[in-house]
Amino acid sequence: MISEQTASREDYLEAIAKLREEEPSVRVTQISKRLGVKKPSVTAALHKLSEDGLVKHRRYGVVELTPEGRRIAEEVMRRHEVLFRFLSEVLDIDGEIAQEDACRVEHLLSPTSLDRLAKFVEFVLTCPKGQPVWHKGFKYYSEQGERDQELVARRLGEESQ
């Protein structure tokens, strides 16, 4: 479903958890479609995840998360959510792209940055000081900037010396 070339263990757990919310039983084919990966890759991944006690899976049977697997999946989903909201709601990135970027980045950001980002998103969208103006302000600024992207890049470069 979501286009990706390579999926990590965490992606599998996340996919299984999401599918579980949508359908009563999770099967290899569903995971395969969702992650854009062939079925043998899913089988292989499930083997490893089984060994690590994160999923339960008997040959030709359904796939389930263990409590530990579920815990991790939920953590990943939380990270995904934070990133997705930042990209789509704060940066106003197209939903499709925001999903893909969130998928890729969700495994790599440190907990520190992630937590801080969560607070930041919360802050920006809540705007406690009562200035939701800033959001419109950014959109305006950003659209203007589309024309002289180069200029902005150059300014960034200079300031960073």
Cα dihedral sign, 37-40-43-48: negative
Cβ-based neighbours of 79, under 8 Å, separated by 6 or more: 106, 109, 114
The interface region with DNA, picked from 33-41, 87-95, 113-121, 147-155 by CB under 7 A, is 33-41
Residues 6+ apart with CB under 8 A from 17: 65, 70, 73, 74, 77
Contacts with its own copies, residue ranges (CB under 8 A): 78, 81-82, 85, 87, 90-94, 97-98, 100-101, 104-105, 108-110, 112-113, 115-124, 128-129, 131, 133-134, 137-138, 141-142, 145, 149, 152-153, 155-157, 160
Minimum CB separation from its own copies for residue 12, in Å? 18
Which residue, among 51, 60, 13, has the nearest Cα to 35 in the 3D structure? 13
Does 60 participate in binding DNA (rule CB under 7 A)?
yes
Answer yes or no whether residue 116 interacts with DNA by CB under 7 A.
no
Check residue 48 for interaction with DNA (CB under 7 A).
yes
Question: Per CB under 7 A, which region of 29-37, 91-99, 110-118, 151-159 contacts DNA?
Answer: 29-37
Q: Find the binder of DNA among 34, 57, 79, 85 (CB under 7 A).
A: 57
Give the orientation angle of helix 9-22 with respect to helix 28-35, to 10 degrees: 110
Assess contact for 91 and 121: CB atoms under 8 A.
Answer: no
In terms of CB distance, is 63 or 83 closer to DNA? 63
Pairwise CA distance, residues 13 & 19, whole Å? 10
Q: Which residues bind DNA (CB under 7 A)?
A: 5-9, 27-29, 35-48, 57, 59-61
